[in-house]
A and B are shown apart, each in its own frame.
Chain A
Amino acid sequence: MDRMNWNTKALNRADRLARARHEIGGRLAGKVVATEAIVTLLEATLEPGDRVCLEGNNQKQADFLAQALNQVDPQRVHRLHMVQSVLALPEHLDIFENGVASRLDFSFSGPQGARLAKLVSANRIEIGAIHTYLELFARYFVDLTPKVALVAAHAADAEGNLYTGPNTEDTPAIVEATAFSGGIVIAQVNELVDGRATSLPRIDIPAGWVDFVVKAPRPNFVEPLFTRDPAQISEIQVLMAMMAIKGIYAEYGVQRLNHGIGFDTAAIELLLPTYGESLGLKGKICRHWALNPHPALIPAIEAGWVESIHSFGSELGMEDYIRARSDVFFTGADGSLRSNRAFCQAAGHYACDLFIGSTLQIDLDGNSSTATLGRITGFGGAPNMGADARGRRHASEAWLKAGRQAREGRGGAAGTPRGQKLVVQMVETFREHMQPAFVERLDAWTLQEQAGMALPPIMIYGEDVTHILTEEGIANLLLCRDDTEREQAIRGVAGYTAVGLARDRRIVENLRDRGVIRRPEDLGIDPREATRNLLAARSMRDLVRASHGLYAPPKRFRHW
């Protein structure tokens, strides 16, 4: 090949920087761009067809830069290919309606899911793929490298060093990929410090990786996604939490784990210092966590259950509590939390023995999905947490026991000794409004047809699910030896749903005799003892009290 220039990226980067300096003129001081010059900066640095990461995390949002991107001239900036983990704000989709962007690769769209589906069917957005978080970050370093990254930090100094603080989240992964591939990094910050009278608490992103900094007129938006008010936990959730602790955590000796986001798992967290303590399990289970700073875990931390927690992001109101419990949380020398979604996703995948979370639908193969018709949402981190880590090689008691159960009696490659991750789906058989959690056919299949996807959007594959836990019992799928047993094990805990009522009672009783299905009474649990009195905190106020006043819930959770 006759290639004359191997440094086109560097030249292009220099062109963009020169254009920006020229167009911004006196409104640029070092790396600091005047707030009112932000649209000019974006028009000068962006080129048509650029791959752009507009930092949208699960929690923290580069909202000022998102608004600015909607104000650029589409004649000049168009056909952008957006590569960001979360579409949380209306602005994230406005740029497609405004003709600035046309293609999208992402992980999760939550509240924007219905609008996204409409834009896709109107051909306003072309979706590349829907990823897990870690999968999208991985592609930043292979074939989805951003040319321009628009990120959010808490503060910057005059040189352009960034303090991302407790909600560091995706920022390091985005900036690393962009800054080391000839790209341009622009950061919005809540505060500028001068480095003399005021300085950064610590440096999370070094100045050499950052090209421009702009002070946003308002602090960046952060959503408290992981706060669950204990007042809303039901007796059935308490019952299911008792079954999880006694029937799975104690059974396998689970020391390292990740919890999903819902009330079901919040109930488990709140039962550790009460029910867990009464079973003598302290120190034997739940010592190490890959988890956001869930307020519901405060009573267990205070009771000495928890040795370490590494977090994907932070949680509003937990700042002072985290600072005061630096033995437990990953914190900087300044005392504040350092989260990192990429590392925590890796930790959850490779270093945890159990994932437990809720879902909306489970089919007879154990496939589980939260996809619903008319919405394209993706699953964020759940498919990564809720999958066996096939590359794992280190052993632990829980991992080995699950692996033995899955392989017992098998020969050949399927019988080669190895461990397996425990992946638990925890659902009440009927959700609110009597929607059955068990179905013959997932909505995901219809959604695939409607949206023309390559595959049905399944959150956790049945092959990876090891246990299904409902108020009726626990189905241990590791012990099932064929598809019929698996189907009947699932029907056998599906309660009064149509799927549950259609069970073969003889096979189900046989599975129960073999311990494949275990009812509360088989575990020595009396459902009548499952009362809210077992919760270590029954209200937000109880959580504040348990934290010795260090936890400061956001206003919407204060009912006193």
Chain B
Amino acid sequence: MSNITPGLETLDYTFAGRRPAGVFAPVLVGVVGSGNLEVLLEPVPGADCAVRIETSARGFGQVWEAVVRDFHQRHPLGGLRVSINDMGATPAVVSLRLDQAISEVRELQP
């Protein structure tokens, strides 16, 4: 992509949770590789869902916002931190990893 510049871009989004995520051991899915990403989910105090994205593809804030907003609509959890380490994954792959991570949380929960 023409507008990739060296260095990562950091994006932060916060949503009000409607359901507590509860207590669970942190979940990590995906790998940091070209066109892929790593998603880490951790329980945190409070009622918000905080998303932090570090991405190698700069200038796509609008797309990220739409992707994580839709994610939060599908899973309106609070007390959750989502950390994304991205290496140019497409939105399709991002959404898939987020959903995979959420299913693992559910499997881990008692």
Contact = CB atoms under 8 A, between A and B. Distances in A.
Contact of A435 (B1, B35, B67, B92): B1
Contact of B35 (A432, A472, A530): A432
Nearest to A495: B91
Contacts of B92: 236, 428-430, 471-472, 495
A430 B100 CA distance: 20
Nearest to A240: B92
A244 to B, nearest CB: 15
Contacts of A528: 96, 99-100, 103
Interface string B57-101: 100101100110000000000000000000010111100100110
B85 to A, nearest CB: 17
Interface string B30-66: 0000010000000000000000000001001011001
A433 interface: yes
Given A428-B92, A527-B96, A433 B66 contact: no
B91 A430 contact: yes
A528 B99 CA distance: 7
Interface residues of A, number: 19
Contact of A434 (B57, B96, B100): B57
Interface residues of B, number: 18
Contacts of B57: 434
Given A501-B66, A527-B99, A528-B100, A434 B93 contact: no
Contacts of A235: 93, 96
Nearest to B92: A471
A234 B89 CA distance: 11
Contact of A430 (B4, B90, B103): B90
A496 interface: yes
A527 B35 CA distance: 18
The secondary structure that dominates the B interface is helix
A430 B57 CA distance: 13
Contacts of A428: 90, 92
Given A236-B90, A428-B92, A496 B100 contact: no
A431 to B, nearest CB: 8
A236 B90 CA distance: 10
Contacts of B63: 434, 496
A241 B90 CA distance: 17
Given A434-B1, A435-B1, A528-B103, A429 B96 contact: no
Contacts of B93: 234-236
Nearest to B70: A496
Nearest to B34: A432
Interface string A409-429: 000000000000000000011
A170 to B, nearest CB: 37
Contacts of A434: 1, 57, 60, 63, 88, 90
Nearest to B60: A434
Contacts of A472: 92
Contacts of B66: 496, 501
Interface string A444-476: 000000000000000000000000000110000
Given A236-B96, A434-B60, A528-B99, A429 B1 contact: no
A178 B41 CA distance: 69
A434 B60 CA distance: 9
Interface string A474-510: 0000000000000000000001100001000000000
Interface string B11-38: 0000000000000000000000001000
A472 B4 CA distance: 26
Contacts of A501: 62, 66
Contacts of B35: 234, 432
B41 to A, nearest CB: 15
Contacts of A236: 90, 92-93, 96
A501 B96 CA distance: 18
A528 B67 CA distance: 17
Contacts of B62: 501
Contacts of B90: 236, 428-430, 432, 434
A527 B96 CA distance: 7
Interface in A259-302: none
A496 B1 contact: no
Contacts of B99: 527-528
A239 B103 CA distance: 17
Interface of B: 1, 4, 35, 57, 60, 62-63, 66-67, 88, 90-93, 96, 99-100, 103
17 contacts: A235-B96, A236-B90, A430-B90, A430-B91, A430-B92, A432-B88, A432-B90, A433-B4, A433-B88, A434-B1, A434-B60, A434-B90, A471-B92, A495-B91, A495-B92, A501-B62, A527-B96
User: Which 4 residue pairs across A and B have the least CB separation, nearest first?
Assistant: A433-B1, A471-B92, A496-B91, A430-B90
Given A429-B91, A435-B1, A471-B92, 6 more contacts: A430-B91, A432-B88, A434-B57, A434-B90, A495-B91, A496-B63
